[in-house]
Structure 1
């Protein structure tokens, strides 16, 4: 016995009720459940759709779909990292390489100044506040989309919500260490200044790629990852 379109829709609702909010993960689970239910019906033809569905769902264990969700998140995190490194490597081409060298030299000049730590701390603090505000707004938008049951792909959510606030926190840690040990950057040996300037330069590039470059390429990246993306979004 084959499942009807209504029953397939019911499976999508079922996955949402069990905290699966991304369409690509839902589709994978619905496909698995549908095939399993049809196999269950071969052996137990007297079971109703709901009974067969519950029998299939129990096979996922006490945590339900959580293991599948975690596996998909790991898979998509890996995908996101590949996307990030692709754009990171593309960054180091002319004329951007000239901009990178200029940024690196600017950081060396700033770090040699006695007020460098306060300047960088101020910029970092402002960025983290902005980043937290953006994250809160993005999560609010995402919550509304989930409530409206819009079709959201996992990578789509990651591109929209992933920010590089971890970079800002790393910057703060370095600055805190400087305060704790009462160091000014200009007191450091020149090779340490070079390393710090390199770190700050890479941090700025990382922030720009995560917050600007990847979101601008979102449609292209989603169509590249999900062949069905364009069709689903039109529905």
Structure 2
């Protein structure tokens, strides 16, 4: 016996009730549950849909769908890192490599200025403020989508929120490190200044790619990752 469209919709609601909020993970679980319910009905045809569904759900163990969610998150984290690395490498090709060198040289020259650490702390503070505002808006948007039962894909949520750790938290840690060590950059040897400028340039590029460039390419990346994305979003 095959499941009806109404029963399939019930399975989607069932996964949401068990803390599965991303549509791609829901779809994978619904496919698994639907096939398993049909197998259960072959052995126990008198069971109701709800009984067969609950019997299938029990096979996931005491943690329910949590193991599946964790596995999908790890899988998507790997994909996100590949996307991040792809866009990051583009900064070392023409003409962006010229911009990269200009950022590096500017940071190096700033570091040679007396009390440059305070200039850097001010820059970090501005970056953190802008990022926190952007994060707040993104969370509100995601929360609204969840409340209105809009279909959210796992990669979509990662692009909008997690960004694989390249958020203002990174800059908070750097801010604290600079502030606590009381380093006077202008008194350091040029070799050290070149190294600091190089590391700071890489961090700024990673921050820009994760927080601005990838979100701008979100639609393209989601269609690339999920063949069904465009069709689902148009429903």
Shorter-chain TM band:
over 0.9
Distance 1:178 1:116 in 2: 14
Show the counterpart of 1:151. 151
Can you give the 5+ residue segments of structure 1 that lack an aligned partner in the other structure?
Answer: none
CA contact (8 A) 1:223 1:229 kept: yes
Q: How does 1:89-104 map to 2 (within 5 A)?
A: 89-104=89-104
Query: Given that residues 223 and 229 in structure 2 are in contact (C-alpha distance below 8 angstroms), is that contact kept between their aligned partners in structure 1?
Result: yes
State the SS of the aligned residue for 2:203.
Answer: helix
**Match in the other structure for 2:14:** 14
Q: Secondary structure at the match of 2:63?
A: coil
1:77 maps to 2:64: no
Deviates more, 1:24-33 or 1:88-97: 88-97
Which of 154, 176, 179 in structure 2 is aligned with 1:176?
A: 179
**Alpha-carbon contact 2:37-2:53 (below 8 Å) kept:** yes
* Shift of residue 52, structure 1, vs aligned partner: 0.7
Listed as ranges, the matches of 1:190-229 within 5 Å are 190-229=190-229
Deviations along 1:153-200, whole A, 9 cap, x unmatched?
111111122342243134224313432xxx201222222111110111
SS at match of 1:94: coil
1:167 aligns with 2:170: yes
Q: How large is the Cα RMSD of the aligned pairs?
A: 1.3
| 1: CA distance, partners of 2:81 / 2:59 | 32
Query: Tell me, what secondary structure is at the counterpart of 1:162?
Result: helix
Tell whether the 8 Å contact from 2:115 to 2:186 is kept in structure 1 after alignment: no
Other structure's SS at 2:151 match: coil
> Structure 2: which 5+ runs fail to align?
none
Between the aligned partners of 2:144 and 2:92, the Cα distance in structure 1 is: 38
C-alpha distance in 2 between matches for 1:101 and 1:76: 32
Distance 1:90 1:205 in 2: 11
User: In terms of mean alpha carbon deviation, does 51-60 or 167-176 score higher?
Assistant: 167-176
Q: Give yes or no for contact 1:20–1:65 (8 Å, CA) kept in 2.
A: yes
> Tell me, what secondary structure is at the counterpart of 1:3?
coil
Instruction: Supply the distance in 2 between the matched residues of 1:105 and 1:194 (Cα, whole angstroms).
Output: 9
Question: CA contact under 8 A between 1:162 and 1:210: conserved in structure 2?
Answer: no
Find the counterpart in structure 2 of residue 107 from structure 1.
Answer: 107
After TM superposition, the structure 1 = structure 2 runs for residues 127-146 of structure 1, keeping only pairs within 5 Å, are 127-146=127-146
Cα deviation, 1:59-80, whole Å, max 9, x if unaligned, reads: 1111111111111111111111
Question: 2 CA distance for matches of 1:99 and 1:141?
Answer: 33
Distance in 1 between the 2:190 and 2:44 partners?
76
Aligned residues: 232
Q: 2:2 maps to which residue?
A: 2
Q: Report the 3-state secondary structure (helix = DSSP H, G, I; strand = E; otherwise coil) of the residue aligned with 2:3.
A: coil
